[in-house]
Homo-oligomer: A and B are copies of this chain.
Amino acid sequence: MPPTPSTFLNGIPELLVLRLLRDREMYGYELVQAIREASADQLTFAEGVIYPLLHTLERDGALSTRRQTINGRSRVYYSITPTGNERLDALSAHWRALTGAIANILKAPHHA
């Protein structure tokens, strides 16, 4: 049986959302596409993943929101907060440590 669709993806939506919002504020629908485009279609998280995540991050104080109506459509813009930046730094460091350790194991010819 094949690997499940979410293999290796635990925590990735949060990492990417925080990373993208570090550059500029974005709204949910925009983030869904930005992740897909920034990864050349290698990573596609649907709205059912991103929206609940944004709500949780806002509830945790990592993001703040601003509502705006454009062309009759309502948008919710998300901005990263200082708390969110700290979280991004922590997640990034954790990510680098883990991927570094795993890369070592994958490429090592032997494991003393």
A interface list, Cβ under 8 A from B: 1, 3, 6-12, 15-16, 19-20, 23, 34, 37-40, 42-43, 60, 90-92, 94-95, 97-99, 101-106, 108-111
Contact = CB atoms under 8 A, between A and B. Distances in A.
A43 B101 contact: yes
A18 to B, nearest CB: 10
A94 B3 contact: yes
Contacts of A106: 15, 19, 92, 95
Give the interface SS of chain A, mostly helix, strand, loop or mixed. Answer: helix
Contact of A8 (B10, B23, B37, B110): B10
Contacts of A60: 1
